[in-house]
Amino acid sequence: MGAVEDWQNSYHGRLRAAMGDATLMLVAARGVIRNEKGEFLLIQRADNKIWAFPAGAMEIGESLADCAIRETFEETGLKAGKATLFAFLTAPRYTFTNMFGDTYQHISGSYLLEEITGELNPDPEEAIDAGWFTLETVPDKTSLVVGWSMSHLAEFEATGKLYLD
């Protein structure tokens, strides 16, 4: 099965088919991995060519932390042994329409992933490239979520408080 068929058979794919063009809630997680130089890992998404953190929708039967770990592994080949929630976003301003014309209000957790094992090997159906960046070196076509997430992480590390919005 390819990525399109996998998505169509997923919880969100089946929900989208049942609900048509209604705005849906999307429960999702993103994983942030930093290297020893303080750079963070981004993938260039295969579907829209935008650079972003590995992320995706939570599936039935998994936790949000497990979702961040799974999605990151699926998209990069890197497996985290530890996931620390640093931001939880639920506000209506996180409502977006994707390239397929589907609108979702995102309910998402941002996780700092540590204790990394594996080899960086992006899945070409998910990511056409991957690389290590700083905020000063991100590519032009980078998701706004990258800047937000790095700001949320900096606030969490400075205060120890979960960023909630």
Q: Are 32 and 112 in contact (CB under 8 A)?
A: yes
pTM: 0.93
Q: Measured between alpha carbons, how far is 65 from 31 in angstroms, rounded to an integer?
A: 9
Percent of the chain with pLDDT over 70: 98
The domains found in the chain, sorted by start residue, are: 24-164 (3.90.79.10)
pLDDT in tens, 16-45: 999 999 999 999 999 999 999 999 999 999
Backbone angles phi, psi at 73, to 5 degrees: -65, -45
pLDDT in tens, 81-99: 999 999 999 999 999 998 8
